[in-house]
Amino acid sequence: MIWNKEMETMPRADIEKLQDERLRKLVAYVYERVPFYRQKLEAAGIHPDTFGGLAELTSLPFTRKNDLRDNYPFGLFAVPLPEVIRIHASSGTTGKPTVVGYTRNDIQTWAEVCARCLALSGAEPGEMFQNAYGYGLFTGGLGMHYGAELMGLTVIPVSGGNTARQIMIMQDFGPHIMACTPSYALTLADKILEEGINPEKLNLKVFILGAEPWTEAMRQELESKLKVHAVNIYGLSEIIGPGVSNECVEAKDGAHIFEDHFIPEVINPDTGEPVPDGEVGELVFTTLTKEAIPLLRYRTGDLASITREPCKCGRTHARMSRIIGRVDDMLIIRGVNVFPSQIEAALVGIPNITPHHRIIVTRENRLDQLEVQVEVTESFFRQVGEEMFMGHPESGVQDLKELEGLLFEALHDALGLNVKVTLLPPGQAPRSEGGKLKRVVDKRQLQ
Ligand code: ADP
Ligand code: ZN
């Protein structure tokens, strides 16, 4: 089903007309209410009375994550605090978290876009939804929760983690839809198969996965292991939380961005200039309807491309590709740009390994060294013998060397770099415990 047929299938010309109207109002709104934006607009020579709307979008100033930090915690809010009925914050692994607020209308908008995501993923009112996104300051849990209630799903607010309990609920309650991070979905899938549970006996029909990058290969693995659909959901706290875009289960070919609420742009991260549709650049969003913390041209740091080609599901909203990396996560190894997602993709299809791996960057004699540590499967581990990994090559040396060679070649083909390959015994690579997974260890700053 299409949750909001009028908005989601609106002809492009009408979408742009609506965006134009809303953008003009937004510029006047932030000019009046947010000193930070008044200053920025004045510096750019923009006044709401003469602003030319959508056609002049690129003349508006960018907003960066640092602007939120500099105005921590509430400096960018456009309404008095009593009108803010909810606060969330992003994890902020470095420094202060990024704080966002929601008015009552914002909470409604958020529920609306999350209900659209659920419908895009194939959920139908009356079905049951196991929400394994974290509840709390993180936007994932509560965002999807309200969307699911609005749609009329039966929500199980289990939150993240506690794999045994998740699986017990999947078996006993029989949810049709489940949302979590993709790495955690893999953890769940492995555990389910390990315990000899027949996935066909579960009611589950779709996994809604997001909050961190994942790949087509992970989709295939999950879909074939658990006999479900896996679709991509994207969002970030600054823009609203989950619910900025979601793939349609019909096409699974890019996530529809809710353009009546968010204007997407893709820019060259170095120059700030727009790049054409289909080309990868930094995603930038302008919120059109948010009241508490509306943002002009927010630079997400996420790299993706967008297309406005029609989609077979009938929706007209632009679609964005998967996030192929972050402006700030991109590793530069001996001058070559490397994204963790490329490494992940290169490992697919190689026998005897698991998708679990760790990426380590070091600097030896002023030369960057990329090491990829890949976990082997249980059966391979048993086959070559534990001694192999303990440095006593007796049996299986040939198999081990062969596997290392395959991995080396695959990574070399994908990255154009010589990568050090290390095989790990099963269970040694980091796993998701329900939240986001940190795969890359960059030791260069420390050396
Ligand atoms: P936190 O900072 O607490 O993790 P955020 O909501 O700020 O929470 O995280 C948003 C970021 O998560 C996005 O900018 C993007 O980098 C990443 N992200 C979210 N959804 C996806 C997705 N489907 N694919 C890849 N990355 C995603
Ligand atoms: Zn579609």
In the predicted model, is pLDDT for residue 409 greater than 80? yes
Q: Are 229 and 176 in contact (CB under 8 A)?
A: no
In the predicted model, is pLDDT for residue 388 greater than 70? no
How close is the Cα of 231 to the center of ligand 2, in Å?
A: 12
273/401: higher pLDDT: 273
What's the rounded Cα separation, in Å, for the pair 372 and 22? 48
**Identity of the amino acid at 207:** F
pLDDT tens sequence across 122-138: 999 999 999 999 999 99
Residue 146 sits in the same domain as residue 270 = yes
**Ligand 1, from 93, 138, 139, 212: best to mutate by most atoms within 8 Å of Cβ?**
212
pLDDT of 436 reads 66
Cβ of 323 below 6 Å from ligand 1 = yes
Residue 134 sits in the same domain as residue 171 = yes
How many CB atoms within 10 Å of residue 341?
Answer: 19
Band (438; pLDDT cuts 50, 70, 90):
confident
In the predicted model, is pLDDT for residue 206 greater than 70? yes
pLDDT of 138 reads 92
pLDDT of 385 reads 72
How close is the Cα of 238 to the center of ligand 2, in Å?
A: 25
Nearest protein CA to atom 16 of ligand 1, as residue: 302
In the predicted model, is pLDDT for residue 447 greater than 50? no
Q: Which ligand is nearest to the CA of 251?
A: 2
pLDDT tens sequence across 57-112: 999 999 998 899 899 999 999 999 999 999 999 865 445 788 999 999 999 999 99
How many CB atoms within 10 Å of residue 179?
Answer: 31
Nearest protein CA to atom 9 of ligand 1, as residue: 236
Cβ neighbors of 317 (< 8 A, separation 6 or more) are 8, 15, 256, 257, 258, 259
Q: Which ligand is nearest to the CA of 245?
A: 1
Ligand 1 atom, smallest distance to 233 CA: 23
Q: Which ligand is nearest to the CA of 283?
A: 1
What's the rounded Cα separation, in Å, for the pair 232 and 229? 10
For 419, the domain range is 331-446
User: What is the average pLDDT across 335-360?
Assistant: 88
In the predicted model, is pLDDT for residue 36 greater than 90? yes
pLDDT of 377 reads 92
In the predicted model, is pLDDT for residue 446 greater than 70? no
**Identity of the amino acid at 168:** M
Cβ of 212 below 6 Å from ligand 1 = yes
Q: Which residues have CB atoms below 5 A from the ion given as ligand 2?
A: 248, 251, 311, 313, 315
Residue 55 sits in the same domain as residue 124 = yes
Q: Are 134 and 168 in contact (CB under 8 A)?
A: no
Cα 26 to Cα 14, 21, 31, 242: the distances in Å are 18, 9, 8, 22
Ligand 1 atom, smallest distance to 91 CA: 3
What's the angle, vertex CA 183, arms to CA 284 and CA 242, rounded to 5?
A: 35
Q: Are 151 and 159 in contact (CB under 8 A)?
A: no
Cβ neighbors of 124 (< 8 A, separation 6 or more) are 1
**Identity of the amino acid at 117:** C
Residue 255 sits in the same domain as residue 360 = no
**Ligand 1, from 180, 323, 339: best to mutate by most atoms within 8 Å of Cβ?**
323
Question: For the ranges 64-68, 305-309, 392-396, which has the lowest average pLDDT?
Answer: 392-396
User: What is the average pLDDT across 300-304?
Assistant: 94
pLDDT of 422 reads 94
Residue 299 sits in the same domain as residue 436 = no
- Beta-strand pair 353-364/367-376: antiparallel
Q: Which ligand is nearest to the CA of 120?
A: 2
pLDDT of 94 reads 47
What's the rounded Cα separation, in Å, for the pair 237 and 363? 35
Dihedral sign (CA 26, 28, 34, 39): positive
What's the rounded Cα separation, in Å, for the pair 77 and 73? 9
Residue 363 sits in the same domain as residue 241 = no
What's the rounded Cα separation, in Å, for the pair 193 and 198? 7
Query: What percent of the chain is modeled with pLDDT above 90?
Result: 77
Cβ neighbors of 16 (< 8 A, separation 6 or more) are 54
What's 207's DSSP letter? E
In the predicted model, is pLDDT for residue 417 greater than 60? yes
pLDDT of 439 reads 85
User: What is the average pLDDT across 335-352?
Assistant: 86
Query: What percent of the chain is modeled with pLDDT above 70?
Result: 95
In the predicted model, is pLDDT for residue 389 greater than 80? no
Residue 214 sits in the same domain as residue 229 = yes
User: What is the average pLDDT across 262-290?
Assistant: 96
The SS3 of residue 64 is coil
- What is the CATH number for 420? 3.30.300.30
Residue 28 sits in the same domain as residue 41 = yes
Q: Are 185 and 177 in contact (CB under 8 A)?
A: no
Element holding 192 (H helix, E strand): helix 182-194
Among the candidates 285, 305, 326, a domain finishes at 326
Q: How many CA atoms lie within 13 A of 401 on its CB side?
A: 6
- What is the CATH number for 273? 3.40.50.12780
User: What is the average pLDDT across 405-431?
Assistant: 92
Instruction: Give the chain's count of helices (H) and strands (E).
Output: 13, 21
Cβ of 369 below 6 Å from ligand 1 = no
pTM exceeds 0.95: no
Ligand 1 atom, smallest distance to 301 CA: 14
Q: Are 97 and 137 in contact (CB under 8 A)?
A: yes
**Ligand 1, from 234, 245, 319, 328: best to mutate by most atoms within 8 Å of Cβ?**
234
Cβ of 121 below 6 Å from ligand 1 = no
Among the candidates 309, 326, 343, a domain finishes at 326
Sheet of 281-287, strand order: 262-267, 281-287, 298-304, 325-326
Cβ of 237 below 6 Å from ligand 1 = yes
Task: Calculate the CA 25 to chain-centre distance.
Answer: 30
What's the angle, vertex CA 101, arms to CA 152 and CA 181, rounded to 5?
A: 55
115/437: higher pLDDT: 115
pLDDT of 395 reads 58
Ligand 1 atom, smallest distance to 323 CA: 25
442: which strand partners?
A: 361
How close is the Cα of 346 to the center of ligand 2, in Å?
A: 27
Question: For the ranges 60-64, 317-321, 333-337, which has the lowest average pLDDT?
Answer: 333-337
Q: Are 369 and 362 in contact (CB under 8 A)?
A: yes
pLDDT tens sequence across 212-240: 888 898 999 999 999 999 999 999 999 99
Residue 256 sits in the same domain as residue 232 = yes
Residue 321 sits in the same domain as residue 337 = no
Cβ of 91 below 6 Å from ligand 1 = yes
What's the angle, vertex CA 132, arms to CA 192 and CA 245, rounded to 5?
A: 115
- Residue holding tokens 């015994």? 425
Cβ of 89 below 6 Å from ligand 1 = no
How close is the Cα of 382 to the center of ligand 1, in Å?
A: 38
pLDDT tens sequence across 249-275: 999 999 999 999 999 999 999 899 999
How close is the Cα of 316 to the center of ligand 2, in Å?
A: 8
Q: Which ligand is nearest to the CA of 232?
A: 1
Considering only CA atoms, which of 202, 208, 276 is closest in space to residue 242?
A: 208
Considering only CA atoms, which of 373, 118, 343, 335 is closest in space to residue 233?
A: 118
**Tokens at 443, concatenated:** 């030791």
Q: How many domains does the chain have?
A: 2
Task: Calculate the CA 43 to chain-centre distance.
Answer: 34
Residue 392 sits in the same domain as residue 293 = no
Nearest protein CA to atom 1 of ligand 1, as residue: 90
Residue 335 sits in the same domain as residue 249 = no
How close is the Cα of 424 to the center of ligand 2, in Å?
A: 40
Q: 72-88 burial string, b = 16+ CB within 10 Å, else e? A: ebeebbbbeeebbebeb
Among the candidates 326, 356, 381, a domain finishes at 326
How many CB atoms within 10 Å of residue 317?
Answer: 25
pLDDT of 93 reads 46
